[in-house]
Chains A and B, each alone.
Chain A
Amino acid sequence: MSTVTAPADERVAKTSVITRLMRRPEIGALMGLIVVYIFFSVVDQTGTFSGLTGAARWTDVAATTGIVVVAVSLLMIGGEFDLSAGVMIGTAGLFAGLLITEYQMGVWLAIFLTFIFAAGIGFINGWLVMTTGLPSFIVTLAMFFSLRGINLGVTKAITDTVRVAGVDEGAGFDSARVVFASEIIPPYNFKIAVVWWFVLVAIATWVLTRTKFGNWIFAVGGDKNAARNTGVPVRRTKITLFMLTSMSAALVGIISLLRLRSMQAGQGVGEEFVFIIAAVVGGCLLTGGYGSAIGGAIGSAIIGMAFIGIAYARWNTDWSWLFLGLILFAAVLVNTLISRRFQGVRR
């Protein structure tokens, strides 16, 4: 605090540090993260969950979920959904895999083309939403089922099976694997995907809070008409967000293709709701205009802990879905209560 501040305004109730902290969108998720971490550390049967060995496992789940959640969070702040983000993982993996195995393309070129292809799918999503005026929920649901059909249909037609295998024979496979699918920090063996995740969260946070584009994301999600009337390019902003979401899913598709050396046609289906859950747990409003990339990352970490924690507790992993359902409900409830209590926004 400077010593020459203007006299305090009597209209302002003092905002304490706690109140200011509670106003952050990700605070509910952070408290949830601590609770979940303690809970699974206590019920852990292997004795490794709370340490780095356990962390290497749950950060892997968190990262492969979280890379897409970063983009999904921005998209949700921008007021839209993408239900095709899960199946897009499979589509991208199959696309790259087929280019490498059936067309003898170099791995790096195939990866590059896959990102272009994913950007195209995202563009179609965004263009359709903006042009037809239909809810993105419907448009991307249609894209979800279309891609699901295409994934199976094309893979079966070309390979006569439901998977694409043999990627490791492509030129450049080893160098690509180092970048996308290697392990770091022995003996714990964290996955390199965790690095990708951290970097993307950092970039997204910077873009969201510090750049013009970030300002526009909040504006188009908060009030589309107000944004348009003040000269924000609403259409361009939203289409860009859809493209980023598809491309982030493509990154995860490529990571798992290089890890497993093959791709199942059904990969990624069902993940789309996990992404939305992570974003919502992280404090993104379903109605748009509010949230953070860090919140989405915390939401992903909670999901990673839940999946690994349940396995480490030697419970049947079928229970993870129940856990996800409960945590979603609890998080939304807590976030709503917090924002009502501390936000003080008249709407």
Chain B
Amino acid sequence: MTDVTPALQLVDVSKSFGSVIALRNVSMHVDNGSVTCVLGDNGAGKSTLIKILSGVHEPSEGQLLVNGAPKRFTSPRDALEDGIATVFQDLATVPLMSVWRNFFLGNEPTEWPWPFRRLNAKKAKSICKAELLDMGIDIRDPEQPVGTLSGGERQAVAIARAVHFGANVLILDEPTSALGVKQSGVVLKYILQAKERGVAVVFITHNPHHAYLVGDRFYLLNRGQMMAEYTRSEVSRDELVKAMAGGAELEALAHELENL
């Protein structure tokens, strides 16, 4: 698969904030129709990496390539225009607004000529309902405020929205970290559904169990550097968990806990 141009690629990217080096010489690539997991503990540089991918920060050094072409993003809007959508941890939904209004926020469908141009609410509601149903979530009423949805449902709305508006690359920032076991399972299912539609998914997490369930390729980030890269066939779940926790450290911890 090396002859396929990656949907998104980083080449030797570094990012520093003043004297703090957040990322150093990070390279990675993300293919269409696959799930790429970025694993890292707190402070590993995951947030900085996401912000570079989604256009919030510009890299200090190195290149960002979209479908093989070098790009410079100065805002999330630039990234969106190139089909890179990010579902941030805060989900970018407005709690007091209804589900369908949130779904179409910033991309509202309209009808009638100016000055009577208005929202095509009927169309918006039915699309919203259908898209969410496609994700396997049966929304009760598109008029209900997003604030009344559960965390998993809100995540689904955010993911469905990104996919609907033509995201070619979908970046998910810790989508399962705040969820219960069952809800996490549901979100992982959405990730696979997006992948099946040919979307390149970047799944950022500190949970190797979740990553292993859906990932095709795994990057391990630690202290601002890419420590390892695995494909699914190369690695078992236990190895991934160990690598993530720093192997020896985990064994020491297990030993310590057993002696309590």
Interface residues of A (CB under 8 A from B): 9, 11-12, 15, 206, 210-212, 214-215, 218-219, 222-223, 225-232, 289-290, 343-347
Which chain B residues (56-85) contact chain A, with CB distance < 8 Å? 76-77, 80
Cβ A345 vs Cβ B92 within 8 A: no
Cβ B118 vs Cβ A210 within 8 A: yes
Which chain B residues (128-154) contact chain A, with CB distance < 8 Å? 138, 140-141, 145, 147-148
The answer for the CA separation of A214 and B108 in the assembled complex, in Å, is: 11
The answer for the CA separation of A231 and B105 in the assembled complex, in Å, is: 8
Cβ B90 vs Cβ A225 within 8 A: yes
The 20 listed contacts between A and B (C-beta, < 8 Å) are A15-B141, A210-B119, A211-B117, A211-B119, A215-B97, A218-B101, A219-B106, A222-B95, A223-B92, A223-B93, A225-B92, A226-B92, A227-B105, A228-B76, A229-B92, A230-B105, A230-B106, A231-B107, A290-B96, A346-B147
Cβ A212 vs Cβ B110 within 8 A: yes
Cβ A289 vs Cβ B117 within 8 A: no
Count chain B CB atoms within 10 A of each CB in A11, A15, A215 and give the residue with the most. Answer: A215
* Pairs of residues from A and B, 8 with the lowest C-beta to C-beta distance, nearest first: A231-B106, A222-B94, A345-B147, A230-B106, A229-B92, A226-B92, A210-B118, A212-B108
Q: Which residues of chain B are near A346, meaning CB under 8 Å?
A: 95, 147-148
Q: Which residues of chain B are near A290, meaning CB under 8 Å?
A: 96
The answer for the CA separation of A347 and B110 in the assembled complex, in Å, is: 30
Residue on B with the closest CB to A229?
B92
Residue on B with the closest CB to A223?
B94
The answer for the CA separation of A260 and B211 in the assembled complex, in Å, is: 74
The answer for the CA separation of A318 and B35 in the assembled complex, in Å, is: 70
Q: Which residues of chain A are near B106, meaning CB under 8 Å?
A: 219, 227, 230-232
What size tier do the contact residues of chain B reach? Answer: 20 to 34
Cβ B140 vs Cβ A226 within 8 A: no
Main secondary structure of the interface of B (DSSP, over half): loop
Cβ A231 vs Cβ B77 within 8 A: yes
The answer for the CA separation of A85 and B3 in the assembled complex, in Å, is: 64
- Shortest CB-to-CB span from A130 to chain B, Å, is 16
The answer for the CA separation of A227 and B119 in the assembled complex, in Å, is: 17
Residue on B with the closest CB to A233?
B106
Cβ B93 vs Cβ A226 within 8 A: yes
**Interface: B241 (CB within 8 A):** no
- Shortest CB-to-CB span from A301 to chain B, Å, is 25
- Shortest CB-to-CB span from A339 to chain B, Å, is 10
**Interface: B218 (CB within 8 A):** no
- Shortest CB-to-CB span from B201 to chain A, Å, is 19
Q: Which residues of chain B are near A230, meaning CB under 8 Å?
A: 92, 105-107
Q: Which residues of chain A are near B138, meaning CB under 8 Å?
A: 9
- If the complex has contacts A229-B88, A345-B147, are A223 and B76 also in contact, measured as CB distance less than 8 A? no
Cβ A219 vs Cβ B97 within 8 A: yes
Q: Which residues of chain B are near A225, meaning CB under 8 Å?
A: 90, 92
The answer for the CA separation of A12 and B95 in the assembled complex, in Å, is: 19
Cβ A215 vs Cβ B96 within 8 A: no
Q: Which residues of chain A are near B92, meaning CB under 8 Å?
A: 223, 225-226, 229-230
The answer for the CA separation of A289 and B146 in the assembled complex, in Å, is: 13
Q: Which residues of chain B are near A227, meaning CB under 8 Å?
A: 94, 105-106
Q: Which residues of chain A are near B105, meaning CB under 8 Å?
A: 215, 219, 226-227, 230-232
**Interface: B179 (CB within 8 A):** no
